[in-house]
Chain A
């Protein structure tokens, strides 16, 4: 058990380093010059040249790419993600600043999504081909199919513009800093995200439970005189495996920020930062963001692998 854990950890580190090097190459291959983009197009001539040359030197972008790589990689090894080209802030700090709002948004949405999805998926599976199943499945398919930016705009139009129930966007109203205000701002983005998350989870829970319900051991439980609830508890637990895999894949995606929803609701999270870094070719932020996602994916996969052996004894004994 411990040995397999260590090998898993080591391979994760190797994958991380590969991703880091790949990211550096990929980001630098993208067209566009971060320094030129700092200067508006109508500033031309000597002023532009003097300014861009000074900035290039300050950022070390005047060095050969190999030198830049060695410097960057050296800094990375000591845990230094570098400084943003555009505003000079440490990238680690920038990412940490955005983590709070994103975790708040995504964490609540994920939680609410799961709380809706598991019972709904079970109901749809148990009452398969009934009105309840059709209703749940229809709603979830629609929620998957309609793009979130459309629902976002629609929600703003209905709840903010027309009904004046909720604030249209942002995390706080200007000048307000209290919890109630924050919760009001969270209703629309969290609600829409929770809807999207639960919609896809419902499908997985339904099919997972359905598959288990058809298995022999369920018939055995019923034949022994076990209640349907008891059978369901076993089936649900066995279907958790696939749900955890999906969850492990979903967490990195959600924690990297729902880019579209963050834009629409002006939510100051990771997704907005990534878009900003991308449009400004802010390489250090871009790489930092990429590495952050890489770490999330690796950690979540690791946790998922470990949790299999907790949930399913067969995985443990198979070793």
Chain B
């Protein structure tokens, strides 16, 4: 019997070693370069699938792409553009022509020169109907876009490389908010790699599963599904890259928090619920920045066309209480769908919590208090679940017969399209860079499914202001128009603005140079400047 147990133990050991050997591949790689290479581990909160700037990328994909693709510019934490491949740019006085000046001596990671032709190639892909990109927004106003869409032309005539380092983009209308339409994305693609691929086949090209030729600070070396993405510093990047190797680790948020404590991970985007735990850890510091979007309750305009009812709902909700109770103070209340600082007047109504006033307004508007008011939301996100609970209590306090209504994400858009909701929790957006982005959520002709106006809101007067602001080139005049729009928006309450959450980042003390960005999908925006101390 004893010999059998021993044999079993040996067999077990052998099997384990064998199985381990099968999966671990090459085992000896310990002989590193002379200099000890530096590395950092970063948390990815989702699992990326592909790395294609032409496709609608989810947050983790955008985070990863920001390391391997450089755009002409990116958006900094203050939501102003920061130079990337372009060193500078000019807008013509009529705001119809933009000229981008590329840096000297730009190279792809494989050593090929990166020129204005690559930019023209990339932007034409975005505009090509055969590619069917989900990110055509900036190019819709470019001269020649319609011809490409209709098939009359192969390339967009308004996007021109005037020389190797200069790209000009000509727009049909004055578009002072043009740069904001790019968000942080629109990385430039290598023409020498993808130039031969037919536009109709490009979305499925293998390149986007492992983009090994890079215009960004890092080169993708490995993409281990469900495990990690391994990136190495791009030696040909236009600035020096501080950390040699980055590991983007796909983890659950609980494990990521645990790894902060063990020192296995250097950067994690955390939720307010974890803040207390993380702040108590040694060697970890938390920084934050306001998000460019906000959590809101869509309020169905078709059911509640009277603004007094919408105002009453907002008065009835204790938003400061939600920010303090749910977010631990890590958020701000806003009072307009327009979020760009220069477009906000300081005389907006603050809609401070006032259930009596809410009841008054509802009575005035003849609102039937016995009528059931459904608050629809997709459960499963801690802060939203908690916010819904508070909103329900608040509305009941004001005498409204509010009930919670759980929905599935698969049904959400259908409910909006058919106007089958009363109030619905919805979040996100990148509104801060320019009011033209907010306009997509407000204009009558952008009512879902045509655009992002998911409250189905429509006000011709507001439309007129927003449309005028979009084409006014003079910055002061433009600011004045948008401030009027913000006042009207503030009075009309097209959305119940709950809060702008702060995006919280926990970084280990060995990671130096990290600057928090409020847009979590752009959190690695200055990764080239990071260093580690060991």
Query: In the complex, A88→B49 CA distance in Å?
Result: 9
Contact with A along B77-103 (1 / 0, CB 8 A): 000000000000000000000000000
A183 within 8 Å of B (CB atoms) = yes
Q: Per a CB cutoff under 8 Å, which of A39, A45, A171 touches B227?
A: A171
Is the Cβ of A179 less than 8 Å from the Cβ of B23? no
Is the Cβ of B452 less than 8 Å from the Cβ of A44? yes
B:15-73 near A, CB below 8 Å: 15-17, 19-30, 39, 41, 47, 49-50, 55-58
Q: Per a CB cutoff under 8 Å, which of B134, B228, B249, B261 touches A51?
A: B134
Query: In the complex, A156→B257 CA distance in Å?
Result: 11
Known contacts A53-B132, A174-B228, A177-B25, A32 near B408 by CB under 8 Å: yes
Q: Per a CB cutoff under 8 Å, which of B225, B254, B255, B448 touches A97?
A: B225
Could you say which residues of chain A place their CB within 8 Å of the CB of B209? 87-89
Is the Cβ of B413 less than 8 Å from the Cβ of A41? yes
Is the Cβ of A156 less than 8 Å from the Cβ of B255? yes
Is the Cβ of A266 less than 8 Å from the Cβ of B19? no
**Which of B26, B132, B413, B430 has the most A CB atoms < 10 Å from its CB?**
B132
The size of the chain A interface, using a CB distance under 8 A, is 69
Look across to chain A and name the residue whose beta carbon is closest to the beta carbon of B412: A41
Is the Cβ of B19 less than 8 Å from the Cβ of A41? no
Is the Cβ of A51 less than 8 Å from the Cβ of B132? yes
Is the Cβ of A164 less than 8 Å from the Cβ of B262? yes
How many Å from the CB of B180 to the closest CB on chain A?
15
A254 within 8 Å of B (CB atoms) = no
The size of the chain B interface, using a CB distance under 8 A, is 76
Is the Cβ of B408 less than 8 Å from the Cβ of A153? no
Contact with B along A78-98 (1 / 0, CB 8 A): 000000001111000010010
Q: Per a CB cutoff under 8 Å, which of A33, A157, A179, A272 touches B410?
A: A33
A309 within 8 Å of B (CB atoms) = no
Query: In the complex, A157→B136 CA distance in Å?
Result: 47
A214 within 8 Å of B (CB atoms) = no
Query: In the complex, A41→B15 CA distance in Å?
Result: 47
Is the Cβ of A168 less than 8 Å from the Cβ of B262? yes
Look across to chain A and name the residue whose beta carbon is closest to the beta carbon of B131: A54
How many Å from the CB of A118 to the closest CB on chain B?
10
Is the Cβ of B452 less than 8 Å from the Cβ of A179? no
Could you say which residues of chain B place their CB within 8 Å of the CB of A51? 55-56, 132-134
Is the Cβ of A54 less than 8 Å from the Cβ of B132? yes
B429 within 8 Å of A (CB atoms) = yes
A50 within 8 Å of B (CB atoms) = yes
Could you say which residues of chain A place their CB within 8 Å of the CB of B430? 42
B239 within 8 Å of A (CB atoms) = no
How many Å from the CB of B365 to the closest CB on chain A?
30
Could you say which residues of chain B place their CB within 8 Å of the CB of A157? 258
Is the Cβ of B227 less than 8 Å from the Cβ of A170? yes
Is the Cβ of A177 less than 8 Å from the Cβ of B451? no
Could you say which residues of chain A place their CB within 8 Å of the CB of B21? 179
Query: In the complex, A96→B66 CA distance in Å?
Result: 31
Look across to chain A and name the residue whose beta carbon is closest to the beta carbon of B209: A87
Contact with B along A247-279 (1 / 0, CB 8 A): 000000000000000011110100011001000
Is the Cβ of A49 less than 8 Å from the Cβ of B449? yes
How many Å from the CB of B126 to the closest CB on chain A?
10
A40 within 8 Å of B (CB atoms) = yes
Known contacts A108-B19, A111-B12, A179-B21, A36 near B255 by CB under 8 Å: no
Contact with B along A229-246 (1 / 0, CB 8 A): 000000000000000000
Q: Per a CB cutoff under 8 Å, which of A40, A53, A266 touches B250?
A: A266
How many Å from the CB of A258 to the closest CB on chain B?
14
Chain B residues close to A by CB (< 8 Å):
5, 8-9, 12, 15-17, 19-30, 39, 41, 47, 49-50, 55-58, 129, 132-137, 203-204, 209, 224-228, 230, 245, 247, 249-252, 254-255, 258-259, 261-262, 264, 293, 408-413, 426, 428-430, 440, 446, 448-452, 454
Given contacts A42-B428, A115-B9, A266-B226, 18 further A-B contacts (CB under 8 A): A31-B411, A33-B410, A41-B413, A42-B430, A47-B56, A49-B449, A55-B132, A104-B23, A108-B16, A160-B262, A169-B255, A170-B227, A170-B228, A170-B251, A172-B24, A182-B20, A186-B20, A276-B47
The 7 closest A-B pairs by CB, nearest first: A54-B132, A32-B410, A174-B247, A51-B134, A268-B226, A45-B451, A100-B23
A–B complex contacts, Cβ < 8 Å, 5 sampled: A40-B56, A45-B449, A174-B39, A179-B24, A266-B255
